[in-house]
Amino acid sequence: ISDPEFDDSARVYSLQISVPIIDDEEGTIVGVMRTTLNTIALQELINEQSFGQTGHAELFTATGEELIDGRSESSIGTGELPEATVQTFVGSEQGTDTATDEAGNSLLFSYSRVKVTETVPNWILLVRQDTSEALQTANQSLRNGLLITLVALGIAVIVAFFLSRSITQPLGELS
């Protein structure tokens, strides 16, 4: 199975798939069965994987060459990945990291190798999103937690004040 390549005759990206035909008795290759698979369905699947304003998926070859960029029109503002970032995920199986793209946007990305077969070079599926958007829910939860803590602390101070007055006032009258 090859990496997707542009097929000039069909004007689409396609994969070349070849399978050897082996003689059972002699164990020798007597022919090759070959077909071309249009990658439109694969491209559409990756293009559907968008989330938020900046989140999208991308497919890379095992060497880091971009095959499919799933950016929607709403995420066009995101920049290309620097070569150092590409080499980070080319050199490992899977992971999550942060980086800055060429447009200067801070981004959070996760990646994993996609094994087609044992003999085919692995593709790499990368999903990325602008860090501020990706962490927006966590930041909102942190703000809400701090606000609740401050309110609870304020209520505790007021209760402590009135409780201390209820104890000290009778003592003052008594003395």
Contact call for residues 61 and 114 (beta carbons, < 8 A): no
User: Which ranges in 91-135 belong to alpha helices (H)?
Assistant: 131-134
Contact call for residues 90 and 66 (beta carbons, < 8 A): no
- Which amino acid would we find at residue 47? N
- pLDDT value at position 76? 45
Quote the mean pLDDT of the chain: 83
Contact call for residues 139 and 147 (beta carbons, < 8 A): no
Q: How long, in residues, is the chain?
A: 175
Q: Report pTM.
A: 0.62
79: pLDDT confidence band, cut at 50, 70 and 90?
low
Contact call for residues 121 and 64 (beta carbons, < 8 A): no
pLDDT tens per residue, range 117-175: 676 667 888 888 888 888 888 889 999 999 999 999 999 999 999 999 998 888 888 88
